[in-house]
Structure 1
Amino acid sequence: MERLWTKKYVMLIVVSFLLFSSFYLLMPTLPIFVMELGGSESQVGLIVGIFTLSAVILRPIIGGLVDKYGRRVFMLSGLVLFAITMYTYDWITSIFGLIIIRIIHGVSWGVATTATSTAVTDVIPESRRGEGMGWYGLAMTLGMAVGPIAGIWLVESLSFHWLFLICTGLVVGALVSGYSIKLPTVKQQSNQSVSFYEKRVLPIALVMFFLSITYGGIMAFLPLFATSIEVNAGVFFLVYAVTLTIIRPLAGRISDKYGQKKIIVPALAIVSIALVVLTITNGLIGFVISAILYGIGFGSAQPALQAATIQLAPPEKRGVANATFFTAFDLGIGLGSILLGFVSQFMGYQVLFFICAVVAGISFVLFMIFVKEILPKVVASK
């Protein structure tokens, strides 16, 4: 069996964990910061959404440049810009200034995450790609589990000044870790033009787009739903994070042994079931069951879909393939949050989560029609 746990792989996981921890420290506290600056609820939505929009616009461009000029320079430059931008939050005194910073911050996020996730695919052995992507995904999972709780505690116990300093320090740590990594060089023809998307992975990106709409609905509206049924939202995210920690490596190993479709097909179905459970729940038990099911479904499907994306793309186009995948992911979260906001306002949270269940069903159908049959052909050719 090829070796997975190399120094390069471990250090890239460290880079991503520190980067995602910084991101999730800020995410739940940003609305509070906006209100302290005198902003409105509509401006909170704008400031949160413009970050994702900036990343979406830039990712396809960065993906092509990462393939042509290498992963390391973009990973390091993205981390530098991310750290500088994070520190600048401490100097912001107006909503307009915050909007400008959020645009730049979104750009740095798109650069750093696209380059880092592509670099990881270069150092994972092909025979253990599913398992490798599963463990790598835990960097985001652990950041999501620790970040929101720690961020809120920092703001309540200390101040935004200390929050921004600690967030900046985490990214500086990621930068130092990334600087120590010597990444492999992907051979590229010097006269090859820069690509902005990889057409071979568009069917997978479409599936991921619809799946991530459900993720956007969970992240944006579950805390409000929890309050309405008098349940602590933190319980859902804690159970979800623990489930992800357990399921990702296991699902990755199964994916490597039996193929991605053996994981993705049941995982997408489980996501729909989880959201149906959330639709009918009115207490803690249903809340926990939904969190477990969603963790199993989304936690299995997302890394398997990314592994399939890399499998379909040639090595010299992994950057743009990753960018295509994550553009769909970000776009689904951004558009889903905005559109589902209108649903929650006029029809309520139960209808919102039922629509999410239907959307997950659409991702299942799209996978069965457009993706399922092309994956065995790629496996057979190896």
Structure 2
Amino acid sequence: MNQTKLWTKDYLCVLFTTFFAAVTHNIFISIFPLYVVEIGGNNALAGAMITGLVVASTITRLICGSLLDRYGRRKMLMIGGFLFALNTIAYNFVSNIPGLFMLRILNGISQGIYFGAASTMVADIVPEERLVDGIGYFGIAGSLAAAFAPMIGLEIFQNLGASNLFLFVSFFATVGALFTLWIKSDFIAAPVVKGEENHGFKIPKLSMLIEFSVLVPAIISFFITFGNSSVANFLAACGIERGITSISLFFMVNSISMIIIRLFTGRLTNRYGLSRLIFTGAVLVGIGFVTIAFAYDTFMIIGAGILCGIGMGITTPLLNTMIFKIASPQRKGVANSTFALFGDIGNGIGATVWGALSQYSGYTITYLVSAICIVIAVIIHLFTLIPKIKLNPQYDR
């Protein structure tokens, strides 16, 4: 593997497989509550289904983290990619609430394998001195999908129906899975220490599933993701209720803002450090949520999209970069699964909380409470993460 070159074939293949999977994922996020309502459900039920997906994904990530370190990323990426594609195709044949609930759980399992392996593989492929850029561009692959996927998904769903939408996402998921076949490089696992051989089934120790050294950035990520899940899962429904017909513009400007800021994140990090940028990004996200709480026109929605896009475009990749700097090379898979675990929990709890809160208290209260989550993340950052960085300055570069 070339240790100085960023744009290798394997890195590009990871970006492409992530992009096509992210198209599918973002379309489902934006239209899923609407589809559940169409077939007889409501926001609270949609939130519960999303929680089921996240719980399944969380359990899968916990199991797969140590497997990625022990057996490598490539096989797990291919397995996850093709399971994700098959799972997406199955939506073409299910149109009832119980069946949909089961598919969302299976979706969580396939996503847990697929996305966990892809993000960990990036940390292996990218040279150390380009890690911020490599993870940033990896995030751009998802942001590009998020820029147009919700808008296209909503257009297809509203004008051509759910059946045509599911055919569309099935195509994208399949193409994404095919890109995993062209990846050649893989992580070489450390040899098993004598006495630690696996003789039959054993309940894994907690330290095999959780990387405790990255808990602080993971907890910060939890509160940010928890708050942001209100936007990801229920903003489309909020826009429809408030009569904002151009609500899809939020997702577009949000993703464009993410893409633009990530192009400069590497240089900004070299100048200001990870911790200052994470703080700044979180504050912008909180202001964006407050803006959404009182948004009743397109102008305010666009402004909120820009604020949230810049904020999330800074905080997510930099927190992700920090956990790879903190963890040892042999623990990157577990560290990444720990980080993703807290994000998944945030999404899962958030989907249920915001679904119920929006159902019974309205969207203004929902997004104000989301902003409070960001305040908590900022407090943890100031009083826990920054002291940790002062003791280990290399984490901030």
- TM-score under structure 2 length normalisation: 0.89
How many angstroms apart in 2 are the aligned matches of 1:129 and 1:375? Answer: 18
Partner of 1:71: 73
Partner of 1:326: 340
User: Is 2:226 the partner of 1:224?
Assistant: no
Q: Is the 8 A contact 2:10 2:183 kept in 1?
A: yes
Partner of 2:248: 234
User: Is 2:207 the partner of 1:179?
Assistant: no
Q: Is the 8 A contact 2:218 2:339 kept in 1?
A: yes
Single out whichever of 241-250 and 94-103 deviates more from structure 2.
Answer: 94-103
User: Is 2:126 the partner of 1:124?
Assistant: yes
SS at match of 2:209: coil
Aligned CA distance change for structure 1 residues 116 and 197 (closer, same or farther; 3 Å): same
Number of residue pairs aligned between Structure 1 and Structure 2: 382
Q: Is the 8 A contact 1:4 1:125 kept in 2?
A: yes
Q: CA deviation at 1:36?
A: 5.1
Q: CA deviation at 1:305?
A: 0.3
Aligned residue identity for 1:209: F
Aligned CA distance change for structure 1 residues 60 and 172 (closer, same or farther; 3 Å): same
SS at match of 1:372: helix
2:315 to 291, 301, 306: 301
Q: Is the 8 A contact 1:340 1:352 kept in 2?
A: yes
Q: CA deviation at 1:157?
A: 4.6
User: Is 2:27 the partner of 1:17?
Assistant: no
Partner of 1:379: 394
Q: CA deviation at 1:336?
A: 1.7
Aligned CA distance change for structure 1 residues 99 and 135 (closer, same or farther; 3 Å): same
Q: Is the 8 A contact 1:276 1:354 kept in 2?
A: yes
Aligned CA distance change for structure 1 residues 381 and 322 (closer, same or farther; 3 Å): closer
CA RMSD between the two structures: 2.4
How many angstroms apart in 1 are the aligned matches of 2:45 and 2:343? Answer: 23
Q: CA deviation at 1:219?
A: 1.7
Single out whichever of 370-379 and 154-163 deviates more from structure 2.
Answer: 154-163
SS at match of 2:30: coil
Give matches, 1:280-291, under 5 Å.
280-291=294-305
Partner of 2:32: 30
How many angstroms apart in 2 are the aligned matches of 1:325 and 1:224? Answer: 29
How many angstroms apart in 2 are the aligned matches of 1:179 and 1:280? Answer: 47
Partner of 1:61: 63
Partner of 1:356: 370
- TM-score under structure 1 length normalisation: 0.92
Aligned residue identity for 1:59: R
User: Is 2:264 the partner of 1:262?
Assistant: no
Partner of 2:222: 209
| Deviations 1:333-369, CA, capped at 9 Å, x for gaps | 2212322334334443222222222210110110112
Aligned residue identity for 1:341: G
| Deviations 1:253-288, CA, capped at 9 Å, x for gaps | 322454311311211122222223333444333322
Q: Is the 8 A contact 1:119 1:183 kept in 2?
A: no
Q: Which runs of 5+ in 2 are unaligned?
A: 199-203
Partner of 2:136: 134
How many angstroms apart in 2 are the aligned matches of 1:301 and 1:254? Answer: 13
| Deviations 1:74-130, CA, capped at 9 Å, x for gaps | 100011111111112222243222222221121001000001110011111111211
Aligned residue identity for 1:375: I
User: Is 2:84 the partner of 1:87?
Assistant: no
Partner of 1:315: 329
Aligned CA distance change for structure 1 residues 93 and 298 (closer, same or farther; 3 Å): closer
Q: CA deviation at 1:233?
A: 1.2
How many angstroms apart in 2 are the aligned matches of 1:142 and 1:20? Answer: 9
Single out whichever of 116-125 and 43-52 deviates more from structure 2.
Answer: 43-52
How many angstroms apart in 1 are the aligned matches of 2:295 and 2:150? Answer: 24
Aligned residue identity for 1:350: T
User: Is 2:8 the partner of 1:6?
Assistant: yes
Q: Is the 8 A contact 1:210 1:332 kept in 2?
A: yes
Q: Is the 8 A contact 2:247 2:298 kept in 1?
A: no
Q: CA deviation at 1:168?
A: 2.4
How many angstroms apart in 1 are the aligned matches of 2:242 and 2:158? Answer: 25
Aligned CA distance change for structure 1 residues 228 and 113 (closer, same or farther; 3 Å): same
How many angstroms apart in 1 are the aligned matches of 2:110 and 2:93? Answer: 18
